[in-house]
Amino acid sequence: MLQNIAIGQYVPGTSFLHRADPRSKMLFIILFAILVFLANNVITYAILIAFTVMTVMLSRLSLAYILKSLRPVWILVLFTVILHVLITKGGEVYFQWGWFSIEEKGVTQAIFISLRVSLLVLVSSLLTLTTSPIDLTEGLERLLGPFGRIGVPVHEIALMMSIALRFIPTLMEETDKIIKAQTARGANFTSGNLIRRAQNLIPIVIPLFISAFRRAEELALAMEARGYRGGVGRTRLRTLTMSWRDGSIALAACVLLLVIGWWRT
Amino acid sequence: MQITFEEVSHVYGVGTPFERLALQDVSINIPSGSFVGIIGQTGSGKSTLIQHVNGLLQPTKGTIRLGDVTVTPTRKLPHESRRNIGLVFQYPEHQLFEETVAKDVAFGPLNFDMPPEMAELRVREALEIVGLDYQEMKDRSPFLLSGGQMRRVAIAGVLAMQPKVLILDEPTAGLDPAGRKAILEAIYRIHREQSLTTLLVTHSMEEAARYADRLIVMAGGKVMLEGKPDEVFAQADTLRELALDVPETVSLISQLNRKLPEEQRLPSSVYREEELISHLLARISDRGER
Ligand SMILES: Nc1ncnc2c1ncn2[C@@H]1O[C@H](COP(=O)(O)OP(=O)(O)O)[C@@H](O)[C@H]1O
Ligand SMILES: [Mg+2]
């Protein structure tokens, strides 16, 4: 029932992107975000689109699946497009009907904004699609490492993130199971007015909270039982290492930066 | 209620990288009034199979007939039919949510528009079936009960709908032996008293042997064996290949039979513990008299 909601859920694999170091992927996304906002004409956007398509191919995931898994985002994009087309005015008037008009600026804005959001979301979803939660948090912890010296609890932040990521699929499964169990007892979640529908959620929300608390307690106990006491002096089973892949990502980043810098107006 | 599956397949996550064939061309026929044990390793598709029986999952392919209702990939089970088919999930105590035991058990009956007085009667009956005292339990919070008691309350929540088909997904998982026996005995009693059609998912051969009059053995999303328990137990080799064991009683019978001369062999139909004991006792006293 809930199978299609997981945005950017990790899909195990062995592609170039799967094997690249999470740190280089994260740094690259930051750079890419900057580039997306630097791009301001047809050529630079075309370059970014071409590059994004290439990255998707490097992940060996089907574009159709990625696009489908990002469905909630597309609804948002569609909404902004409509808003811009209707509200932003200026330039040539394409269509006029009383006070209502569609004008050049509105259309170009809509196109650029939706392109920006789409490219950003696509590329960043590739990070979570191709990086396991463990690698993701370890990469984050290492990247944030320097901030630890000024008192930022980096290890704890990373741990919180990894626990959250780890339990998203579990809680979704749990939700699915509870919905089914209550449906089997005749619960109906799709009828009635708004208040009625909110009330209908109680049989799902309460068991879900209880199970989340129970899991949290069990996890805390299990961690303590195994002697966990924070990040200081902790060694790792697997350490991240950079490879030629990360070199090529860095190279691609430099090239992209130069090209966009050159062509933008 | 007769339950028939015709070439039913189910695929989870169609069109995603997580696509998974969980049921493959399953054809079974469960006569009305039978007690069916569904056995198989974890991941063999047992839970997927039973969720088709009350329409929580729809087949990707194939047809399911429940009495005179038909479910196909495009035709859903109507809401009212759910009432006739009670499904107790694995760890059903995780679905409790009400303030009091009585309210929680009444959730099902009230959802199917039963008048409140009638629902209360059903709640009382259902709690008594699972061996809980109505007066003592009704106003207690379900969350302050012991694990075994919570399980019973949850099972009562399904029984209170008075289904004609009762499906239980590993109802004894994680309970102590006494708790297991109490729950299974209660289920068996109500199965006979109300002539239910009962499907019991378990991975214990002992439990299956004790209560079921038909067995379905699953592996890798397929039905590997189906039939009367003694017929299924006769396929000891196949069972062993599927990493399932025959019940202790059956292996005792076959070990004894290996020692006994042809004409004195024990029949394979006495696989139930009590029956085997009384059969053996009768033999021994026979011999004493001779
Ligand atoms: N909601 C789901 N989404 C995707 N795959 C599932 C889901 N539920 C079960 N599966 C898969 O289907 C197969 C059969 O599972 P299940 O019916 O739960 O087996 P059993 O109850 O015998 O342990 C397993 O491989 C399992 O991973
Ligand atoms: Mg199961």
How many whole angstroms from A174 Cα to the centroid of ligand 2? 13
What is the structure's pLDDT at A71?
Answer: 84
Q: How far is CA A36 from CA A44, A48, A195, A205, B201, in A?
A: 9, 8, 43, 40, 55
Give chain B positions within 8 Å (CB) of A68.
15-16
B257 domain-assigned: yes
Coil, helix or strand at residue B227 = strand
% of chain A exceeding 90 in pLDDT:
43
Separate counts of helices (H) and strands (E) for chain B: 12, 10
Would you mind telling me the total number of residues written for chain A in this entry? 265
The count of structural domains within chain B is 1
B149 domain-assigned: no
In this structure, what is the dihedral angle of CA atoms A111, A116, A117, A121, given to the nearest 10 degrees? 140
Residues B257 and B244 sit within 8 Å (Cβ to Cβ): no
B162 domain-assigned: no
Would you mind telling me the total number of residues written for chain B in this entry? 290
**Phi and psi for B223 in degrees, rounded to 5?**
-85, 115
Instruction: Please enumerate, as own/partner, the contacts of A72-76 that have beta carbons within 8 Å and a separation of 24 or more.
Output: A72/A5, A72/A7, A73/A7, A73/A117, A73/A121, A76/A117
Judged against a pLDDT cut of 60, whether residue A2 lies above it is answered with no
Residue whose Cα lies nearest atom 18 of ligand 1: it is: B47
What is the structure's pLDDT at B221?
Answer: 95
Q: Residue B83 and residue B164: Cα distance in Å, rounded?
A: 8
Coil, helix or strand at residue B234 = helix
Nearest to B56 among A65, A180, A202 (CB): A180
B285 domain-assigned: yes
Flag if B12 and A3 touch (Cβ within 8 Å): yes
Domain span including residue B252 = 247-290
Residue whose Cα lies nearest atom 27 of ligand 1: it is: B43
**Chain A residue closest to B80 (CA)?**
A186
Tell me which residue of A230, A247, A178 sits closest to A207, measured CA to CA: A178
B256 domain-assigned: yes
Flag if B161 and A202 touch (Cβ within 8 Å): no
Could you tell me the two tokens for B160?
Answer: 């209170």
B281 domain-assigned: yes
Instruction: Compute how many other C-beta atoms are within 10 angstroms of the C-beta atom of residue B153.
Output: 25
What is the structure's pLDDT at B195?
Answer: 93
% of chain A exceeding 70 in pLDDT:
97
B216 domain-assigned: no
A210: closest CA of chain B, how far (Å):
8
Burial label for A69, CB within 10 Å (0-12, 13-18, 19+), is buried
Q: Which DSSP state fits B11? A: E
Q: Over chain B, what is the mean pLDDT?
A: 92
Residue whose Cα lies nearest atom 9 of ligand 1: it is: B48
What is the structure's pLDDT at B11?
Answer: 95
Could you tell me the two tokens for A260?
Answer: 């966009």
Q: Taking chain A, what is the end-to-end CA distance rounded to the nearest angstrom?
A: 48
ipTM of the complex, rounded to two decimals: 0.89
- Find the farthest-apart pair of alpha carbons in chain B and give their distance in angstroms, rounded: 72
What is the structure's pLDDT at A10?
Answer: 87
Residues B183 and B175 sit within 8 Å (Cβ to Cβ): yes
How many whole angstroms from B43 Cα to the centroid of ligand 1? 6
Give chain A positions within 8 Å (CB) of B13.
3
What is the structure's pLDDT at A1?
Answer: 43
B278 domain-assigned: yes
Least confident range of A46-55, A206-215, B98-107, B271-280? B271-280
pTM, whole model, 2 decimals? 0.84
- Which residues pair with residue B61 across a beta bridge? B9
| Maximum mean pLDDT: which of A87-91, A165-169, B255-259 | B255-259
Judged against a pLDDT cut of 90, whether residue B272 lies above it is answered with no
Q: Residue A28 and residue A127: Cα distance in Å, rounded?
A: 10
Give chain B positions within 8 Å (CB) of A210.
94, 143
